[in-house]
Amino acid sequence: MSATTAANKRKQADSGPVLDWTAGHGPVTGALSATTGALAIATTGAALSMPPAWALAVGGAGALGHTVAGLKVRNAGRTLAFKAASWLVGAGWTTWAMTTGPLSWAALGSLATIGVGMGAGARSVALYEEAREEEALAAERRQVAQEISAERRQIAAQWVERIRRICTITVRVLAVEMWETGNGYSLDLEPQGGTTYDRIAQYSAALSADAKLPHGCTAAVGPGAHQGRAIVDVTTRNVLAEPRSYPEDYSPLSVLTGMPWGFRTNGDDVLAYLREQCALVVGPTGSGKTNMLHTILAGLARAEDVLTWVIDLNAGSAGLPWVRPSLGGELKQADGDPVRPGVDWLAGTYEEALKLLDAAIAVGLHRKRAYQELMAKHDTDLLPVSAKIPQIMLVIDEGAEILVSTDRRMKELAKRILEFIRMHRSMGGRTIITALGATGSVLGNLIIRREAKVRVVLTGGETEGMDLSKMFPGRRGLRVDQAPFKGAGFMGTPESPGALFKAWRIKPSQIRDITVATSDRHPRLDAVSANAAGADYARRWDADRTAWMRDLTPDATGTEQSAPGAGGGLNLSAHRTDRTDRTDRTGKAGGDDDLMRRFREEIDAQFATAPDPDTPAPASSGLNLSALRKEPEQDSPAQRAALAALLAAGPDGTGASAISRTLADEYGTTRQTVVGWLKAWADDGTAVRVGEGTKARYVHRDRTPEPPANE
Rounded to whole angstroms, how far apart are CA atoms 387 and 379? 19
Rounded to whole angstroms, how far apart are CA atoms 480 and 209? 16
pLDDT, position 625 = 45
Contacts of 189 (CB under 8 A, 6+ apart): 159, 163, 171, 172, 173, 174, 200, 224, 229, 230, 231, 232
pLDDT, position 710 = 44
Has residue 581 got a pLDDT over 50? no
**Hey, what amino acid is at 230?**
A
Has residue 82 got a pLDDT over 50? yes
The tens digit of pLDDT for each residue in 223-240 reads: 888 899 999 999 998 888
**Higher pLDDT among residues 628 and 129, named by residue:** 129
Has residue 81 got a pLDDT over 70? yes
Quote the Cα angle for 649-650-653, to 5°.
60
**Higher pLDDT among residues 108 and 159, named by residue:** 159
Has residue 630 got a pLDDT over 60? no
Cβ pair 299, 259 in contact under 8 A:
yes
Rounded to whole angstroms, how far apart are CA atoms 233 and 219? 6
Rounded to whole angstroms, how far apart are CA atoms 482 and 205? 9
**Hey, what amino acid is at 292?**
M
Report the percentage of the chain scoring pLDDT > 90: 31
pLDDT, position 621 = 41
pLDDT, position 424 = 92
Rounded to whole angstroms, how far apart are CA atoms 641 and 657? 14
The closest of 673, 650, 648 to 660, measured between CA atoms, is 673
State which CATH number among 2.60.40.10, 3.10.20.30, 3.20.20.70, 1.10.10.10 fits the domain covering 631-703.
Answer: 1.10.10.10
- Reported as a pLDDT band with limits 50, 70 and 90, residue 600 is low
pLDDT, position 518 = 93
Has residue 648 got a pLDDT over 60? yes
The tens digit of pLDDT for each residue in 410-449 reads: 999 999 999 999 989 999 999 999 988 766 666 667 888 8
**Higher pLDDT among residues 696 and 611, named by residue:** 696
Has residue 527 got a pLDDT over 90? yes
Q: What is the per-residue burial (b if ≥16 Cβ within 10 Å, else e) of 82-113?
A: bbbebbebbbebbbbbbeeebeeeebeeebee
**Region label for 214, one of left (φ > 0), alpha (ψ between -120 and 50) or beta (otherwise):** beta
Lowest mean pLDDT among 57-71, 208-222, 619-633: 619-633
Rounded to whole angstroms, how far apart are CA atoms 92 and 86? 10
Question: How do beta strands 269-272 and 499-502 pair?
Answer: unpaired
Task: Tell me the three state secondary structure of residue 121.
Answer: helix
- Reported as a pLDDT band with limits 50, 70 and 90, residue 258 is very high
**Higher pLDDT among residues 639 and 592, named by residue:** 639
User: Mean per-residue pLDDT for 84-90?
Assistant: 76
Going through 245-351 in order, the beta strands assigned E by DSSP cover 259-264, 269-272, 279-282, 306-311, 345-347
Has residue 8 got a pLDDT over 60? no
pLDDT, position 320 = 92
The Cβ of residue 131 has, within 10 Å, a number of other Cβ atoms equal to 11
- Reported as a pLDDT band with limits 50, 70 and 90, residue 26 is low
Q: Provide the mean pLDDT of the chain.
A: 78
The tens digit of pLDDT for each residue in 544-555 reads: 888 888 765 554
pLDDT, position 575 = 37
Task: Tell me the three state secondary structure of residue 80.
Answer: helix
pLDDT, position 707 = 54
CATH architecture of 253-548: 3-Layer(aba) Sandwich (3.40)
Element spanning 190, H or E: strand 184-191
pLDDT, position 378 = 93
User: Mean per-residue pLDDT for 77-106?
Assistant: 76
The closest of 688, 270, 663 to 504, measured between CA atoms, is 270
The tens digit of pLDDT for each residue in 33-76 reads: 777 777 777 777 666 777 777 776 777 777 777 677 777 777 77
| Start-end of CATH 3.40.50.300 domains in the chain | 253-548
Contacts of 417 (CB under 8 A, 6+ apart): 357, 394, 396, 399, 402, 403, 431, 433
The tens digit of pLDDT for each residue in 283-313 reads: 888 888 999 999 999 999 999 999 999 999 9
- State residue 553 phi and psi, 5-degree precision: -130, 120
User: Mean per-residue pLDDT for 553-566?
Assistant: 46
**Higher pLDDT among residues 224 and 479, named by residue:** 224
Report the percentage of the chain scoring pLDDT > 70: 77
The Cβ of residue 517 has, within 10 Å, a number of other Cβ atoms equal to 17
Has residue 470 got a pLDDT over 70? yes
| Start-end of CATH 1.10.10.10 domains in the chain | 631-703
